[in-house]
Chains A and B, each alone.
Chain A
Amino acid sequence: GAVVSQHPSRVICKSGTSVKIECRSLDFQATTMFWYRQFPKQSLMLMATSNEGSKATYEQGVEKDKFLINHASLTLSTLTVTSAHPEDSSFYICSASQLTGNQPQHFGDGTRLSIL
């Protein structure tokens, strides 16, 4: 149980394109989902916390107009990288917890984004 599905797994696109990444909790409901970014040979850095039915909470230094987050249902959050540029190329990973409080986070398999 507690499976998180992330799609697509890899995207290659031209500079200026907007890219949408989906994160789904397959067998549980998640009021909160999280979006992380990982650059090569570095750790995961939290970008934003996605809250169902309300605005996302962004970490310091993350542009909310650049990285649009929508969490319209208890099983789906989306991250849209708008007008992507080569510096946005990275590995993006989402996670979700079954409940707020002391529960483990379950991670998707990540999306490797390459902007040419």
Chain B
Amino acid sequence: KAGVTQTPRYLIKTRGQQVTLSCSPISGHRSVSWYQQTPGQGLQFLFEYFSETQRNKGNFPGRFSGRQFSNSRSEMNVSTLELGDSALYLCASSLVTGGTGELFFGEGSRLTVL
């Protein structure tokens, strides 16, 4: 069974640009959540989607957005990039929504903003 796949693995952007990251969950998983990981802040929750609906959102500005498609694949978008957006963006999928299900993480997309 294939794991969670995130693309691209690495990318470099400049300030002001926008970026789209993709996440393909484990087959059968309908919940996808996104996290930002930085050395100083640890893991910060961005948002969670379940059956194409955003179920929960973390404390990030509106420049961060996401969506989920009918096949459960998810994308997140960051517009008007800032230097502080440099981070590892992790996607996790789960069978169920709610804090009782095991999260399966992808290897992440490492974004560098210059």
Do A and B pair up? The answer is no
Q: Contact residues of B with A, CB < 8 Å?
A: none
